[in-house]
């Protein structure tokens, strides 16, 4: 267990919903800022730096990452935080042969802008936006509505992701690990939420 004298932080538990032929499968992960990658909840809970495990968050004292100094020196808004830390709490992953109606219902249920499409080995293929899934015939597969927009790595600074969204006119981008496998989704709302929370924190600090 971690030392009580170490600086503590709370890390949110992310949920990745995988649509299957039967019931959806849910996988819980946590983005570790020390290792700059997502790990399964069970692996995270067993880490020596963890203090407490709750349903929606982990309290721990992660070691400083090698990127920490470079991130602090990045002057851009969002230059000092990694995408894995700011991506949405839930992501939906699906295969291209999944009926559009199934994807549309899952996105509506989770209130998401897009789903991540993967191949049979779980590798990134593209994304399907909720508006396209809603407009497609419910029984048709996703072949005609998959958008091939390059994903972003979870260790990429959020500032770079925001720039990509503006350049590609994309409201959401798939987030992948170093092996190119999707670990989540980051949207414009996730970025705005982070900016708002950072601004609120700075305002409270000035008022002390």
User: Are the CB atoms for 12 and 89 separated by under 8 Å?
Assistant: yes
User: Are the CB atoms for 95 and 118 separated by under 8 Å?
Assistant: yes
Which pLDDT score, from 0 to 100, does residue 8 have?
85
Residue 161 maps to which CATH number?
3.10.580.10
* Residue 94 maps to a domain: yes
- Kindly list the distances between the CA atom of residue 117 and the CA atoms of 100, 103, 167, 168, 178, in Å, as whole numbers in the listed order: 12, 10, 22, 18, 17
| Average confidence (pLDDT) per 10 residues, the chain, 208 residues | 65 90 86 89 90 88 68 72 91 94 95 93 93 96 92 93 91 92 93 82 58
* Residue 21 maps to a domain: no
* Residue 190 maps to a domain: yes
Which pLDDT score, from 0 to 100, does residue 71 have?
59
* Residue 90 maps to a domain: yes
Total domains, the chain: 1
C-alpha radius of gyration, the chain, whole number = 18
Identify the domain containing residue 118 by its residue range: 66-206
DSSP state of 82: B
Which pLDDT score, from 0 to 100, does residue 67 have?
59
Which pLDDT score, from 0 to 100, does residue 95 have?
94
User: Which two three-digit tokens encode residue 5?
Assistant: 């004298």
* Residue 53 maps to a domain: no
* Residue 183 maps to a domain: yes
* Residue 2 maps to a domain: no
Nearest to 55 by CA among 12, 110, 111, 109: 12
* Residue 50 maps to a domain: no
User: Are the CB atoms for 78 and 194 separated by under 8 Å?
Assistant: yes
3-state secondary structure of 142: coil
User: Are the CB atoms for 123 and 95 separated by under 8 Å?
Assistant: no
3-state secondary structure of 35: coil
Q: What is the model's pTM?
A: 0.84
DSSP state of 66: T
3-state secondary structure of 57: strand
Which pLDDT score, from 0 to 100, does residue 114 have?
95
């Amino acid at each position: 267990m971690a030392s009580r004298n170490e600086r503590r932080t709370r890390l949110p538990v992310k949920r990745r919903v995988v649509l299957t032929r039967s019931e959806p499968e849910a996988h819980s992960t946590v983005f570790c800022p020390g290792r700059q990658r997502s790990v399964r909840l069970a692996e995270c809970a067993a880490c020596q730096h963890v203090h407490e495990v709750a349903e929606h968050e982990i309290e721990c004292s992660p070691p400083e990452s090698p990127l920490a100094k470079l991130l602090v020196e990045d002057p851009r808004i969002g230059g000092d935080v990694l995408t894995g830390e700011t991506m949405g709490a839930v992501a939906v992953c699906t295969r291209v042969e999944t009926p559009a109606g199934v994807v549309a219902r899952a996105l509506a249920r989770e209130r998401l802008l897009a789903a991540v499409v993967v191949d049979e080995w779980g590798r990134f293929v593209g994304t399907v936006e909720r508006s396209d899934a809603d407009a497609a015939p419910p029984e048709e597969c996703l072949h005609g509505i998959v958008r091939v927009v390059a994903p972003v790595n979870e260790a990429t600074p959020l500032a770079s992701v925001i720039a990509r969204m503006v350049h590609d006119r994309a409201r959401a981008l798939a987030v992948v690990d170093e092996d190119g496998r999707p670990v989540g989704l980051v949207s414009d709302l996730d970025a705005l939420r982070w900016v708002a929370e950072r601004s609120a924190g700075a305002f409270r600090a000035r008022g002390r």
